[in-house]
A = this chain, B = another copy of it.
Amino acid sequence: MPVRMKDIARDLNVSVVTISKVLRNHSDIGPATRKRVLQRVKELGYQPNWVARSLVTRRTYIIGLVVPDLMHSFFAEVAKGVGRKLRPRGYNVVISNSEEDSQLEAEEVNLLLARQVDGLLLASAQKPGQSDLFERIEEHKVPVVLIDRRISGLDLSYVGVDDKQVGLLATEHLIERGCRRIAHIRGPQISTGLGRLAGYRQALSRHGLRVASRYVLAGDSGDSTGYEAMRRLLALDPPPDGVFCYNDPVAAGAMKAVLEAGLRVPEDLAVVGAGNVHYSDLLRVPLSTVDQSSSLIGEHAADLLLDLVESKRPRRPRTILLAPKLVVRDSTNR
């Protein structure tokens, strides 16, 4: 039903090959023929069938982007950055949501591989050594760039921020603002969560503060866990006077719990998040946070991946570490 090259070729009494060459700006075509072909292509509104083309070229111009949660606007922003770079180059992006589940993630990646994607952008929920996912990717020889989360022991390209630095910046800021009982609501046991935790610990010990383990609570990455964790922290005696949260959604949830308990932010308890998602400025108390230049992460990752995809010979993995930046707002302004 849709127009094929064959149809145009028949109309014009030329071969299919000629059409194909014109459409790909092949040089060895006479100007007259080229013009006739282009004319007819426009008349019929012909569009090449990418499935057929992909089968022979082995290039789909599809990039797979796997994120743990699109609702977390950090990842939406990364996705936007990725799209901004990839679209003008003719690529489409398939976005898969792993829901922070490594099993689901593996299935999604397998599907993407079966679809012959040209490359993979992965904010992985895998714990190290948890699966053979990366071996599969390796086998398929599909280039990968890790985003936001690194996987230890794997020599893959990576774009993200220095997470230890994130933890350091946030925690030292709290210390500098006079907090002395600083809690941390941790993230998952992946590079970001562990790195920020390490930064938190280092900041405390660097300033001679004790790391009280009861002040470190496991959460995961949503605002409801921030809320729950904060309620438990408030029940401690003495409660903390500052908290560094894994990310902004967690911090938003935590802040809600603090205010609900009748305490003031930042006077009674200062709060810092991480990620600088765009609504942080609009929260009950505008949230101090550590900016990760999310859309830049997406753009850099896309660039790195394009380089891998389009270079003929294998290239060494590269790492781009962006410097986190502290953004001070009211939630620590005391």
Contact = CB atoms under 8 A, between A and B. Distances in A.
A329 to B, nearest CB: 11
Interface in A277-326: 278-279, 281-286
A177 interface: no
A111 interface: yes
A136 B282 contact: no
A51 B252 CA distance: 44
B97 A94 contact: no
A70 B69 CA distance: 12
A49 B114 CA distance: 5
A87 B97 CA distance: 10
Interface in A1-55: 1-2, 45, 47-52, 54-55
Contacts of A255: 282
A1 to B, nearest CB: 6
B92 A115 contact: yes
Contacts of A279: 223, 249, 252, 279, 283
A92 B96 contact: yes
A319 B115 CA distance: 32
Interface in A113-129: 113-116
A285 B284 CA distance: 6
A206 interface: no
B283 A256 contact: no
Contacts of A60: 51
A196 B69 CA distance: 30
A102 interface: no
Contacts of A83: 96-97
Candidate in A2, A77, A96, A136 with the most chain B CB atoms within 10 angstroms: A2
Contact of A95 (B93, B111, B113, B278): B93
Contacts of A111: 90, 92
18 contacts: A49-B114, A49-B116, A50-B114, A51-B51, A51-B60, A51-B116, A70-B80, A71-B278, A76-B76, A80-B97, A87-B108, A90-B111, A92-B96, A92-B111, A93-B94, A94-B94, A223-B279, A256-B281
Interface of A: 1-2, 45, 47-52, 54-55, 60, 62, 70-71, 73, 76-77, 79-80, 83, 87, 90, 92-97, 108, 110-116, 136, 139-141, 223, 249, 252-253, 255-256, 278-279, 281-286
